[in-house]
Amino acid sequence: MQKNKLWIWQHTNYPHFTYDSKAIETHLLETTRIQGQLEGSIKHLSLDKQHTFQTNTILDEILFTSYMEGEVLHRDSVRSSLRKQFEDVDDHKGSKHADNIASVQYDVNTNAKPLSLERLHRWHYELIVDGEYDATQVTPGAFRNHNEMDEMYVTSGTGAKTRVHYVAPPSELLDVQIESFLAYCNSTTDNPLIQSAIAHIWFVQIHPYGDGNGRIARNITNYILSKGLGLDSRYFSLSHAINNDLKNYGELLEQSNRLTKNPNLDLTPWIVWHTQIIHSAIEMSINAIDKTIAKTKFYDKIREIKISQNQSKAINFLLSGKEESINNSMYRAITDTSQVTASRQLNDLVKKGVLQKVANQKARSSAYELCL
């Protein structure tokens, strides 16, 4: 290790990253395989359901990428803004902030033009300007400009329990580093899965903005996947999958960025994890599509069956995915009926082939699931 140097950007060979192609190969092949499976699954949805699926997936991406940065957005407002941006439907329910975020997501997903400094600044401006931010630390659409006594720290905890995870390069290095970064994004011949992983962590290492670097990094990842593979946050939510594995996300970023743990600029563990995360995100989308198809078939199956309003409430509750089964007390809570009535209506749905008893349940605690 180079003496007295702690962070990856201080290495004399930075940013000449290395990785083990053989260690990554299997993960690339498996993710490429499941990508093809997702493309096939989407084709089984009607156009209307494709649009709904895509809107919900982009919504997930926006909500989770913001949540990871400590910003909680209003789902209905963002959904309205997405419909305006992607479907040209305006119900005037979206806020200015949500409209800006949806605009960025549209550009990320649909604009394959080369990445530029101006584009990054525009994304940052629109993500930040109408949200809550510290104007003393952040200028929307502009890089940080700190002096030597005001370094850019990534920390957790407060007071005596504050822990420093990373110290970013000084502001005077940003222009040169971003120039190299953009050249890589626009001209590399790396597999797009590898490129997206390297671009993600590289941008986080540069950390050019006072805030919002994580969101921009994940947008860049989606941009690269969209341009290189034709898949982006319209089809799966990278940020949802990352949020499910936040502990490893933080640990791998820190391990990759500390010279004491990564003296050879080796990004193999990060690329493997990042590719697995994309795989997980795609897998979640396939499962969601399978459920949508199953629900459609189920509705077709029961279309001619006489079902009461109460029974319909219970069916819709199960189809929502909130629970996999329902018992008598849950049925009563949903429908506001008596125990006897609930029992009779549940048994009626069993006789009609709509529900079936969950196996290995005692009589007094019988639970029922859909006959999908």
Residue 150: is its pLDDT beyond 80? no
Torsion angle of the four alpha carbons 263, 267, 273, 276, in this order, in degrees rounded to the nearest 10: -160
The tens digit of pLDDT for each residue in 11-44 reads: 999 999 999 999 999 999 999 999 999 999 999 9
The tens digit of pLDDT for each residue in 192-218 reads: 999 999 999 999 999 999 999 999 999
Residue 260: is its pLDDT beyond 90? yes
Is the CB of residue 296 less than 8 Å from the CB of residue 51?
no
Q: Given this model, what pLDDT does residue 233 score? A: 82
Domain boundaries, the chain: 8-292, 305-370
**Which letter does DSSP use for residue 135 in this model?**
T
Q: Given this model, what pLDDT does residue 363 score? A: 58
Instruction: Give the three-state DSSP class for 142.
Output: coil
Direct distance between the N- and C-terminal alpha carbons of the chain, in angstroms, rounded to an integer: 59
Tell me the mean pLDDT in the region 143-159. 78
Is the CB of residue 272 less than 8 Å from the CB of residue 23?
yes
Tell me the mean pLDDT in the region 212-234. 93
Q: Given this model, what pLDDT does residue 157 score? A: 85
- 305-370 fold: Arc Repressor Mutant, subunit A (1.10.10)
Q: Given this model, what pLDDT does residue 149 score? A: 47
**Which letter does DSSP use for residue 236 in this model?**
-
- 8-292 fold: Fic-like fold (1.10.3290)
Q: What is the pTM of this model?
A: 0.88
Is the CB of residue 178 less than 8 Å from the CB of residue 117?
yes
Is the CB of residue 365 less than 8 Å from the CB of residue 291?
no
The tens digit of pLDDT for each residue in 83-142 reads: 899 888 888 788 999 999 999 999 999 999 999 999 999 999 999 999 887 777 889 999
Burial pattern 67-105, b for ≥16 Cβ within 10 A else e, equals ebeebebeeebbbbbbbbbbeeeeeeebbebbbbbbbbb
